[in-house]
Amino acid sequence: MSVVTRPLLTLRRVTPLNTARGVGRSIRLQPIRHNSTSVPPRQTPSALSSSSSSSSGSSGPKGTPISSAFYALSLALFCGAGYLIGNVSALPPSTSLVDSSFAIAHQLANQPKYGSHKDYHSAIEELTQLFESKGKGDQVSTDDADLESHGISDWSYHEAKKPTVVVWVDSTEEVQQVVKIAQKWKVPITPFSGGTSLEGHFSSPFGGISIDVSRMDKILEISEADGDVIVQPGVKWDDLNAHLAKKGIPLFFPLDPAPGATIGGMAGTSCSGTNAVRYGTAKAEWFLNFTVVLPSGEVIKTRQRARKSSAGWDTTKLFIGAEGTLGIITEATLRLAPLLPTKVAVVTFPGVEEAVRAATEVVNAGFPVQCVEYLDGRTMEAINKGGMAGKQYKEVDSLFFKFQGSDASMSEVSKSVQSLTKKHGGANFEFSKSDKEAKDLWEGRKAALWSVLALKDGARVWTTDVCVPISKLPRLVRETSEDFEKRGITACHFGHVGDGNVHSLALFTNEEELKVVEHAVHDMVERAIRLDGTCTGEHGVGVGKIGYLPTELGVGTVNLMETVKRTLDPHNILNPGKIYPNIKPQSQ
């Protein structure tokens, strides 16, 4: 075993795939946005063998002469020619977890291949027949407006393509039927739900089927005693919480991304939001169980409803942050949290360093913080200009706190937090006395995103998120805002400071500025990774962050993810072009 490992590790160091910077570069130099119509792909002849042959594992990869030579040379250096011949001819099956260098080279030589133009048409025909037979012919559409809204997001400027057909499904059984049709004709299939994701998650780079689960929006069963709820994937988190409040049930679901985001998409992106400092992210145990349709068409449940389980490892988590690439969630059991009264405080600071130090100390001192949000001076200026918050704020770096607890306990919290923040230069401390005041004060934070556009006439906004260890946040924000200034770009920085998660919103008015923004965002992401952080704290990978994964996670971890993907979805039917940098279906 060790004999096999040594040469492979050496290969890992020299393979160009490992230069994730190069991967990132190639991504950022892509054309910004093509609203191109997705023509059903055509089959082209290829020297590479198909994914089906690769998954059989019985034969070695039919690599290019260059890759074969590369293997030969590297292995010969370490093991000698005899060893070399034996091993090159015994390359791994695509679904085995083997050393990254072998697995990646094998992947690159054995890419998935989709159906022909005719196959795509056959899939559409079969879908149409199926839904017409149920009296639901209008739930299959090839209208351009439907294709556009299901492939291209108004919020993202990454290259995006439309699907070939959109299908609205109503049940697990229908999802299963659609998946089986996709498998039969080798047509990719991309789940779509709330459509609020930001990194090109639901773009269909190879056309195919957009499966829209937004009609599956039923709250199936609430158990107040157990503190959980069973929902369909199209349920919006804000509708769920409004429903619980209307029913007088003092529980809520604490993950809070964009208004209108749905449970399926929230699990898919591993979302979080302002409440994460108190409740954690989608990767905490807010999702107890999923019903999932796997790429094979098989339907599974990941676990029972019990709050705790140590029965094996956590298959629910496999689908969190998987962006619809491993299965389609058709039902979810969610854990709910007790709804507590909250109050809001706003306090200004001389700069980001002081604000972060104060936020960290308040959180670490054990005050009942539900949210702590940092907004830079430019964001505060935008909020004032936008006029959506109903009040004017000081236009300097600020923290917005949300505290949990009874009115009685809040006066003590208010006094202590004021004196603690003062130590770090905190000033203009405001603390809400009533629920109404709390709501009004929080409006400022809520208005931030929409207000940023008020800073520049006719501007559009590129929004991105990264996350670093909290102590590194001041450096990240300072260096990033200086960099944007130097490039002449107006940008606002704000975010969930309690988790070290920052969003940068950069304004642009033309294609030239957009290019500059794209480069600055790329540098920001690399800066965050250098600071031991991540290319995305909560928005997910989509197409926008795919090139950063090898640097951030390491090629071995990417290989592990790709091996799981190949195992579950050997034909790469589900949501291609996302997450897995080395799985590159053949362009047709």
Ligand X SMILES: Cc1cc2nc3c(=O)[nH]c(=O)nc-3n(C[C@H](O)[C@H](O)[C@H](O)COP(=O)(O)OP(=O)(O)OC[C@H]3O[C@@H](n4cnc5c(N)ncnc54)[C@H](O)[C@@H]3O)c2cc1C
Contact positions vs ligand X (CB under 6 A): 155, 190-198, 201-202, 213, 233, 257-258, 261-262, 264-266, 268-269, 271-273, 323-324, 328-329, 449, 538-540, 575
With beta carbons less than 8 A apart as the criterion, state whether 150 and 163 touch: yes
CB of 321 to ligand X, least distance (A): 9
CB of 233 to ligand X, least distance (A): 4
| Pick 207 or 233: Cβ nearer ligand X | 233
| Pick 196 or 572: Cβ nearer ligand X | 196
CB of 215 to ligand X, least distance (A): 12
- State which amino acid sits at residue 138: D
| Pick 91 or 258: Cβ nearer ligand X | 258
Compute CA distances 480 → 242, 473, 477, whole Å: 38, 10, 5
Looking at the chain, the number of H-run helices and the number of E-run strands are 21, 18
Cα–Cα nearest to 506, from 561, 455, 552, 556: 455
Cross-strand partners of 166? 141, 210
What angle, 0 to 180 degrees and rounded to 10, lies between the N-to-C axes of helices 65-79 and 2-14?
130
| Pick 99 or 323: Cβ nearer ligand X | 323
Shortest-Cβ-distance residue relative to ligand X: 265
With beta carbons less than 8 A apart as the criterion, state whether 123 and 181 touch: yes
* Torsion sign over Cα 239, 245, 248, 252: positive
| Pick 161 or 539: Cβ nearer ligand X | 539
| Pick 451 or 480: Cβ nearer ligand X | 451
With beta carbons less than 8 A apart as the criterion, state whether 562 and 54 touch: no
Query: Do β-strands 337-338 and 251-252 pair in parallel, antiparallel, or remain unpaired?
Result: antiparallel
- Residue in this structure with the two tokens 């399926």, named with its chain if needed: 264
CB of 562 to ligand X, least distance (A): 17
| Pick 102 or 252: Cβ nearer ligand X | 252
Cα–Cα nearest to 115, from 188, 47, 205: 188
Instruction: Compute φ and ψ for 352, nearest 5 degrees.
Output: -70, -35
With beta carbons less than 8 A apart as the criterion, state whether 186 and 205 touch: no
CB of 148 to ligand X, least distance (A): 15
| Pick 18 or 38: Cβ nearer ligand X | 38
CB of 407 to ligand X, least distance (A): 28
Distance of CA 183 to the CA centre of its chain: 25
CB of 124 to ligand X, least distance (A): 20
CB of 273 to ligand X, least distance (A): 4
